[in-house]
Amino acid sequence: MADVIEEIPLSSNTYQCPNCGAALKYKPGTISLHCDYCGTDTLIDAKVVEDVQELDFEQYSRDFETLNTQTTKVIGCRKCGAESTFEENLKSTDCPYCGMPLIESDIHEERLIKPSYLLPFKLSDKDINTYLSAWFKGLWFAPNELKKRALCSDRLEGVYVPCWTYDAQTESDYRGERGINYTRTVGSGKNRRTVTETRWSYCSGHVSLFFDDVMVPASKMISSVVMNKIENWDTMNMVEADNRFLSGFITEKYVINMQEGYNTAKSIMESDIDYAIRQDIGGDKQRINSKKTVFSDIKFKLILLPVYISSYTYKDKLYHFFVNGRTGRVSGDRPYSVAKITLAIIAGLILLALFIYFVNQNS
Ligand SMILES: [Zn+2]
Ligand SMILES: [Zn+2]
């Protein structure tokens, strides 16, 4: 029997089975680590999140190095450049984004902000295949070969995707114009008609808004568009980021840093503020001529979200599927079958020709 360990070390990224010593993996949908060799489950004494702690943005910007950061082993993909935090259990894995084998000599160390919370994987890869095949069945004009091939997707990888969330209190003073519509009759004789015009008046005011958890994906590989498509995230079920939940999965490194993420969050907040100002102006139309916003109490945190990624090449092009590891919601790029679309167009044209023929017959 291999070395038996009583305690699972928290500092290391490998967790060994207390029964047989094999490497343990987090078992989706549970709070246990699972041994594939002897079947033993080891409970993770995860801390339940009662009061979510947010980090202070100002303080972090000043003292980045000394605060909640850790030296992390990072492995990069030579082909697509995706970077993930290296985990001992994954020695022989392929890059989830392009399929290129990751090479251990490509590991380097970096100082990174520690994730505060994560949503553990809830669905297993078997569950995901069910969701993927349902999604494929619903695809119009997809090549048959694709449907067949995607169903036996052996290349399904669970990835924890880094995401920033930001809170802020905002106070905005604005100057603008309120437009009231009215109708007027113009022209004479045959050209007589009513037109709608707008009467504008100047106005100003104040809007205060509090933003809670504005989410900005920090991944280079998964765009925020895709992350929006596979929403929602049950963030109320987040747990403290414990390495044991990461065991057996890939954790992507954040490539959008905290400041860049904040700039994106700010532009999301700005458009909500504009909407609130327009509501405040009222009337039928609104113009915002100037606005001054003070952001205060800015808080942030780094969280990890569970996404299954499947990629494969079809006719020399790389396609990706992304599946929410909690809900099974799928989003993906997909090829179209030229043959199927051509047939559909021809069928449509024949119907149109027949229709025109009968209309002409009957008139
Ligand atoms: Zn075991
Ligand atoms: Zn890659």
Encode 110-173 in three state secondary structure.
EEEECCCEECCCCCCHHHHHHHHHHHHHCCCCCCHHHHHHHHCCCCEEEEEEEEEEEEEEEEEE
**Given this model, what pLDDT does residue 92 score?**
57
Percent of the chain with pLDDT over 90: 34
Ligand 1 center to 38 CA (angstroms): 4
Q: Band of the pLDDT at 148, cuts 50, 70, 90?
A: low
Of 69-73, 87-91, 121-125, 177-181, which range is least confident?
87-91
Give CA separation, 347 vs 122, 140, 270, 340, 352, in Å.
45, 16, 49, 11, 9
Ligand 2 center to 97 CA (angstroms): 5
Of 225 and 142, the one with more pLDDT = 225
Q: 328 CB contacts (<8 Å, ≥6 apart)?
A: 123, 127, 128, 130, 131
**Given this model, what pLDDT does residue 22 score?**
87
Number of residues in the chain:
363
**Given this model, what pLDDT does residue 334 score?**
64
Could you read off the pLDDT of 19-31 as tens digits, one per residue? Answer: 898 888 899 999 8
Ligand 2 center to 118 CA (angstroms): 24
Could you read off the pLDDT of 230-243 as tens digits, one per residue? Answer: 988 998 899 998 88
Ligand 1 center to 154 CA (angstroms): 24
Query: Could you give the CA distance from residue 158 to residue 129 in angstroms, rounded to a whole number?
Result: 12
Could you read off the pLDDT of 108-134 as tens digits, one per residue? Answer: 888 888 898 999 999 998 888 888 878
**Given this model, what pLDDT does residue 181 score?**
95
Please tell me the number of the ligand nearest to residue 22's CA.
1
Give CA separation, 169 vs 55, 87, 204, 212, in Å.
15, 38, 20, 9
Q: Band of the pLDDT at 4, cuts 50, 70, 90?
A: very low
Domain boundaries, the chain: 1-45
Q: Are 118 and 241 in contact (CB under 8 A)?
A: yes
Neighbours of 84 (CB within 10 A): 25
Please tell me the number of the ligand nearest to residue 23's CA.
1
- The DSSP element (H or E) to which 208 belongs, if any, is strand 193-217
Percent of the chain with pLDDT over 70: 84
Fill in the DSSP letter of residue 252: E
Query: Could you give the CA distance from residue 328 to residue 326 in angstroms, rounded to a whole number?
Result: 6
Please tell me the number of the ligand nearest to residue 83's CA.
2
Could you read off the pLDDT of 150-185 as tens digits, one per residue? Answer: 555 557 888 999 999 999 999 999 999 999 999 998
Segment 142-148 shows an average pLDDT of 63
Ligand 1 center to 18 CA (angstroms): 7
Q: Are 92 and 260 in contact (CB under 8 A)?
A: no
Q: Band of the pLDDT at 2, cuts 50, 70, 90?
A: very low
Q: What are 264's two structure tokens?
A: 């994106």
Q: Are 151 and 129 in contact (CB under 8 A)?
A: yes
Ligand 2 center to 101 CA (angstroms): 8
User: Taking the alpha carbons of 84, 90, 95, 96 in that order, is the dihedral positive or negative?
Assistant: negative
- Rg of the chain in Å (alpha carbons): 27
Which of 92-96, 99-103, 196-200 has the highest mean predicted lDDT (pLDDT)? 196-200
Quick check: 11 pLDDT over 60?
no
Segment 214-226 shows an average pLDDT of 87
Q: What are 180's two structure tokens?
A: 């009231």
**Given this model, what pLDDT does residue 3 score?**
40
Q: 246 CB contacts (<8 Å, ≥6 apart)?
A: 13, 26, 85, 87, 118, 160, 304
Query: Could you give the CA distance from residue 48 to residue 120 in angstroms, rounded to a whole number?
Result: 12
**Given this model, what pLDDT does residue 140 score?**
64
Most distant CA pair in the chain: distance in Å? 102
Q: What is the mean pLDDT of the chain?
A: 83
**Given this model, what pLDDT does residue 203 score?**
95
Quick check: 338 pLDDT over 80?
no
Please tell me the number of the ligand nearest to residue 81's CA.
2
Burial class (CB in 10 A: 0-12, 13-18, 19+), 15: buried
Ligand 1 center to 118 CA (angstroms): 26
What is the DSSP annotation of 16-59? Answer: B-TTT-PBPEE-TTSSEEE-TTT--EEE--PPB-SS---EEHHH
Could you read off the pLDDT of 300-337 as tens digits, one per residue? Answer: 899 999 999 887 677 777 778 899 999 999 887 766 66
Ligand 1 center to 23 CA (angstroms): 8
